[in-house]
Structure 1
Amino acid sequence: MLKSPCLSLLLGGLLACPFAHGQVFQRELGDFDLKLGTSPSRSMAQGLVKPSAAGSFHGGLDLTHDSGFYFGQWSPSMGITPGKNLEIDSYAGFKQPFDQTLGYEVGIIHYSYPEVDTLDSQELFGGLTLLGSRFGVALSNDPDKQNSTLFADLSGNQPFGIGISMKYTTHQLNAPVAVDGGYVGSFTDWSVKLSRPFMGIDLDLIYSDSSLSGSYCSAYSGHNSQCDGLVTLKAERSFY
């Protein structure tokens, strides 16, 4: 378990401050680099694992040593707004580049929900960067299922300037779920994303699907927004 009273106090102080949207405070403390902010300061496992989507009140801290070791806490929700519960994600890991074309990362995240009666969960992750492309794997134990995820971002080779990333996850349910026509004890889901910048706008074309269909979709609880095949076009522009 990665909870730390010191980190929790720092996190509480940060969340009480009136930070502007996306603001990050950064300074060096000897051999450490400290970041405090209202937006996630880290994407772990070379892009595979990211902190949970943020609610209205959120924030965190990240402390990185020159050796490559890092740890921190991120709270995507303070539980202040209706329907939102306090969540604290504590993490630690090690990230080291061999050179500009090769690097690796390993670590663990602990997800806790102090205000609700639910089990905490953990996630082990690892990532590899090779010639500009990223590959990752994550193993997590949610309260209701076990997940194994593979990820690939082929940024090192972009034909026509188009980036390609893929994610594939196997979900093993702790208890089979009854559906019309039988039971579901496990399922898989996957997604493929094509990305290309255009006139300052990031364009993403995403296809997602799962091994479930029809009435069996009532048991779906995976990464995708829906069980059946879905094509999504997303356009995003950063103004600052």
Structure 2
Amino acid sequence: MLKPSCLLLAGLMACSTAHAQVFQRELGDFDLKLGTTPSRSMAQGLVKPSAAGSFHGGLDLSHDSGLYVGQYAPSMGITPGKNLEIDSYAGFKQPFDQNLGYEIGMIHYSYPKVETLDSQELFGGLSLLGSRFGAAFSNDPDKQNSTLFADLGGNQPFGIGISMKYTTHQLNSPVSVDGGYVSSFNDWSVKLSRPFMGIDLDLIYSDSNLSGSDCSAYSGRNSQCDGLVTLKAERAFY
């Protein structure tokens, strides 16, 4: 995998690219991509998305055989409150035909500038008629996570994309709460997406099976323990 300095350079190159978010070039049997948006549906955010900072980007190198490697930084750690995160990944992606394919791989999450242990994630998925269905298992420093994901991109009523995610978290050490302990919990989210006048609009509902004082044990993928509705609008300027 590439060193952080190389990734930073690639990210800055991607951020300075005008009129496009992905720069692509063929190198023999290889395909190289530099960009400010993830190039992989599974390997960069489909299973474990991260909040992007103001500066983010990475590179992706794939072979005609289906093998690929890459790095992506959801945050360069430049803006206040954001830490440098580097996601290194490798995998294999192959279509059976135009309507069916599969993908397997692994991601390594690292945070070079903070004292946070690295984590790993194994993932696999199927693409069927334009929709994607995936599963992943990750080993974080404090828990293990098992995730199921569905992106119904092949069927978008009124142009609205629908994706759903369900995760089970098993804590390494039970957390003391009022009236007992929490050793595991589940959380889930549903996202509706639609482009509008060059703006990507997302409506997200997230929740978990914890409530009240039990939420002190929550450390899942959602932004908070209780039910939450989020409206997100994002526009790319390059």
Query: Which amino acid counterpart does residue 11 of structure 1 have in structure 2?
Result: L
The aligned runs of 1:55-66 (5 Å cut-off) are 55-66=53-64
| 8 Å CA contact retained: 1:45, 1:105 | no
Residue equivalent to 1:136: 134
| 8 Å CA contact retained: 2:22, 2:34 | yes
Identity rate, percent: 83
Query: Which amino acid counterpart does residue 212 of structure 2 have in structure 1?
Result: G
Alignment RMSD: 2.8
Question: Partners of 2:154 and 2:123 in 1: how far apart?
Answer: 21
TM-score (norm 2): 0.85
Moved more, 198-207 or 147-156: 198-207
Residue equivalent to 1:20: 16
Residue equivalent to 2:227: 229
Displacement after TM superposition at 1:17 (Å): 5.1
| 8 Å CA contact retained: 2:14, 2:34 | no
Query: Which amino acid counterpart does residue 186 of structure 1 have in structure 2?
Result: S
Displacement after TM superposition at 1:145 (Å): 0.9
The aligned runs of 1:45-194 (5 Å cut-off) are 48-49=46-47, 52-194=50-192
Residue equivalent to 1:43: 41
Query: Which amino acid counterpart does residue 78 of structure 1 have in structure 2?
Result: M
| 8 Å CA contact retained: 1:46, 1:134 | no
Question: Partners of 2:46 and 2:144 in 1: how far apart?
Answer: 17
Moved more, 30-39 or 137-146: 30-39
Question: Partners of 2:84 and 2:180 in 1: how far apart?
Answer: 36
Displacement after TM superposition at 1:151 (Å): 0.7
Question: Partners of 2:105 and 2:49 in 1: how far apart?
Answer: 13
Question: Partners of 1:47 and 1:115 in 2: how far apart?
Answer: 21
- Deviations 1:147-182 (Å, cap 9, x if unpaired)? 000011223334454433211100111111122222
Question: Partners of 1:34 and 1:190 in 2: how far apart?
Answer: 34
Query: Which amino acid counterpart does residue 6 of structure 2 have in structure 1?
Result: L
Displacement after TM superposition at 1:202 (Å): 4.7
Structure 2 unaligned regions, length at least 5: none
The 1:128/1:17 distance shift into structure 2, 3 A limit, reads closer
Structure 1 unaligned regions, length at least 5: none
Query: Which amino acid counterpart does residue 219 of structure 2 have in structure 1?
Result: S
Query: Which amino acid counterpart does residue 16 of structure 2 have in structure 1?
Result: A
Question: Partners of 1:60 and 1:16 in 2: how far apart?
Answer: 9
Question: Partners of 2:52 and 2:178 in 1: how far apart?
Answer: 35
Question: Partners of 1:194 and 1:15 in 2: how far apart?
Answer: 29
| 8 Å CA contact retained: 1:40, 1:51 | no
Question: Partners of 1:86 and 1:171 in 2: how far apart?
Answer: 25
- Deviations 1:94-131 (Å, cap 9, x if unpaired)? 11111211011000000112233221100001110112
| 8 Å CA contact retained: 1:43, 1:50 | no
The 1:64/1:76 distance shift into structure 2, 3 A limit, reads same
